[in-house]
């Protein structure tokens, strides 16, 4: 199929731009049919419905120049995972960078490894990138790894990581403690349980909304600390008391999942019903 040279160059230039836009927008690359249809629109009727096997490879080269199907943005993938409610970080050593992810934060060491990693990658101008020929998604606890095909987007890589996470859930490798739950009196004037304890107590007088804001700030500070002590031993009094007794929970807090406070053995407490929390600092 003959095509005016100026028109062909115009189409190829626009394909480069559009390919880059699709990549930044986290959209998948064009199929051959989709690419040809887009080129037909750009040609203003000069191209027919039938794919030209001579022109399509040149159009694909131009599109790939902008889309860069052989690379995946690990930093964008990290953001996608965080938006999905998972914890993710991009970590680097002297040789390469990689993306690690889990259902709660991990130290990454031998006693508390991240359950899934994706890499290797390298540090680009504005983000960490990985080449699909080398990139794999690998559960830390298993020898198997899954290769990543060309054209993979940040969201698709995030979905693949979540799939592996669901098959290889986080394991608590640090100190593990069974959560104990019982009924206990909770007077509004309750005092802190002792020294070396950081306490937040609902005084029974001020608005519950204020206490919930204070609780959120306390938990966010705990779990976003650059050197957090995950597995923080805590005592939590919860449930709005209709009588003198409320639920008293003792255990190791390892994360907050939305409105749930999660202990090391999987027990959860609803943050909305917490009356006091005591973090034992020793």
Q: Which residues pair with 123 in a beta bridge?
A: 128
**What mean pLDDT, rounded, does the chain reach?**
84
Q: Is the dihedral of CA 241, 246, 252, 258 positive or negative?
A: negative
Q: Are 115 and 165 in contact (CB under 8 A)?
A: yes
pLDDT in tens, 192-226: 666 778 888 886 666 678 888 888 888 877 776 64
| Length, in residues, of the chain | 282
Q: What string of H, E and C letters represents the secondary structure of the chain?
A: CCCCHHHHHHHHHHHHHHHHHHHHCCCCCCCHHHHHHHHHHHHCCCCCCCCCCCCHHHHHHHHHHHHCCCEEEHHHHHHHHHHCCCEEEEEECCCCEEEEEECCCCCCCCCCCCCEEEEEEEECCCCEEEECCCCEEEECCCCCCEECCCCCCHHHHHHHHHHHHHHCCCCCCCCCCCCEEEEEECCCCCCCCCCCEEEEECCCCCCHHHHHHHHHHHHHHHHHCCCCCCCEEEEEEECCCCCCEEEEEEEEEEEEECCEEEECCCCEEEHHHEEEEEEECC
Query: pTM of whole model > 0.85?
Result: no
For the segment 127-177, what is each residue's pLDDT rounded down to a tens digit? 899 999 999 998 876 656 678 889 999 999 999 999 998 888 777 666 677
What is the predicted pLDDT for the residue at 159? Answer: 95
Q: What is the pLDDT of residue 226?
A: 47
Cα(107)–Cα(265) distance, integer angstroms: 18
Residues 6+ apart with CB under 8 A from 203: 188, 189
The residue among 281, 182, 282 whose CA lies nearest residue 236 is 182
């Amino acid at each position: 199929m003959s095509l005016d040279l100026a028109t062909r160059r115009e189409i190829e230039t626009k394909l480069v731009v559009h390919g880059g836009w699709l990549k930044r927008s986290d959209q998948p690359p064009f199929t051959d049919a989709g690419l040809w249809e887009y080129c037909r629109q750009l040609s203003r009727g000069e191209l027919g419905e039938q794919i030209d096997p001579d022109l399509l490879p040149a159009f694909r080269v131009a599109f790939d120049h902008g889309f860069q199907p052989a690379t995946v943005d690990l930093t964008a993938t990290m953001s996608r995972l965080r938006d999905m409610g998972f914890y993710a970080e991009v970590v680097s050593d002297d040789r390469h960078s990689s993306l690690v992810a889990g259902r709660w934060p991990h130290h990454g060491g031998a006693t508390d490894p991240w359950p899934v990693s994706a890499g290797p990658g390298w540090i680009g101008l504005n983000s960490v990138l990985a080449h699909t020929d080398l990139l794999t998604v690998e559960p830390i606890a298993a020898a198997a790894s899954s290769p990543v095909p060309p054209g993979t987007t940040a969201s698709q890589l995030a979905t693949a990581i979540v799939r592996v996470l669901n098959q290889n859930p986080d394991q608590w490798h640090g100190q593990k403690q069974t959560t104990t739950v019982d009924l206990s009196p909770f007077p509004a004037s309750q005092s802190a349980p002792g020294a070396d304890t950081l306490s937040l107590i609902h005084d029974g007088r001020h608005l519950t909304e204020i206490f919930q804001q204070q609780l959120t700030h306390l938990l966010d500070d705990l779990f976003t600390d650059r050197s957090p002590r995950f597995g923080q031993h805590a005592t939590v009094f919860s449930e709005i008391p209709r009588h003198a007794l409320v639920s008293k929970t003792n255990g190791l807090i390892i994360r907050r999942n939305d409105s749930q406070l999660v202990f090391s053995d999987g027990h959860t407490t609803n943050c909305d019903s917490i009356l006091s929390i005591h973090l034992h600092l020793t």
